[in-house]
Amino acid sequence: MMIRFPLVVLVLIIGALRCRMARAEQSPGSGNVYTLASVREDLVRQEDTIIYGLIERAKFPSNSHTYDEKYAQIPHFCGSLVEFVVKNTEALQAKAGRYKNPEENAFFPENLSPSIVPSYPFKQFLHPGAASININKSIWKMYFQDLLPLLATPGDDGNYAQTAANDLSLLQAISRRVHYGKFVAEVKFRDSPEDYEPLIRAKDKEGLMKLLTFTSVEESVRKRVEKKASVFGQEVSLESVDNDNKKRKFDPTVASSLYKNWVIPLTKEVQVEYLLRRLD
């Protein structure tokens, strides 16, 4: 007897099995396996982290002093409180080995001390050219100019250090998602190098962008992110799960706008940059 599944069901089943297997088998060195399925699963999980981050940042009002260089006046430091917190936390996390993982990219890479803990054998899956790709400057600009005004309600509750810490977590989650484009591109390249090589050799950015663009998939991602934002951001009480009313912790369309306008285009930018270096 043959049992037939639609492709989407099969992908879900394989995904669930992979997840369980990965959990059972986790051991040093085996955590970073990159396949089309694992990369897709990781991208989906990263959506959740970004949404929790959005909700947690939206808990605080705008707290504009956090971003005001003139307010902070920090001795021996030129910049706003958020820059102070991000630069110094990154320096500390670098010492703790964060940036040994090729999935991580710092916002202030020029500022980092080397890791002071024993190094872990992260799988070297990417082409070495990947190390030179870091578009965190664009993410930083987008975050403060475009995203925060949509996300945070006007106001000041004095929790500037906590606000900056939440900004950092969310920035790191978005950065990780965008730069994961390197892994997406490598997996796609290995899957069909014959499609990519001629475009790479011709330095055909537009052609690569076209090859990487699946409008219907992007639309699904955007919709799923909005649905997740609406589920995770709802008020839950014992009486009801309040999915349809106005008592939400933030507007779910902010999450889908973030993906549509910035995360998806920036990820494709990383993919193109990576592919252009892939044959060097």
| Distance in Å, CB of 200 to a second copy, minimum | 31
Which phi and psi (to 5°) does residue 240 adopt?
-155, 160
Complex with a second copy: residue 49 or 134, whichever CB lies closer: 49
Q: Which is nearer to a second copy, 226 or 273 (CB)?
A: 226
Q: Supply the DSSP symbol for 20.
A: H
- Taking the least distance from each CB to a second copy, the nearer of 65 and 127 is 65
Minimum CB–partner distance for residue 85 and a second copy (Å): 5
Closest approach, Cβ 259 to a second copy, in A, equals: 14
Q: By C-beta, is 75 or 128 nearer to a second copy?
A: 75
Q: How far is the CB of 11 from a second copy (least distance, A)?
A: 10
Percent helix / strand / coil, the chain, rounded to 5? 65, 0, 35
Of the candidates 83, 115, 116, which has an alpha carbon nearest to the alpha carbon of residue 100?
Answer: 115
Smallest separation (angstroms) from a second copy to the CB of 170: 12
CA atoms of 135 and 139, how far apart (whole Å): 7
Angle among Cα 35, 41, 44 to the nearest 5 degrees reads 140
Only one residue has tokens 């995203």, namely 147
Which residue from 155, 154, 147, 200 is spatially nearest to 178, judged by alpha carbons? 147
Strands of the chain (E only): list them. Answer: none
Residue listed under structure tokens 């977590």:
169
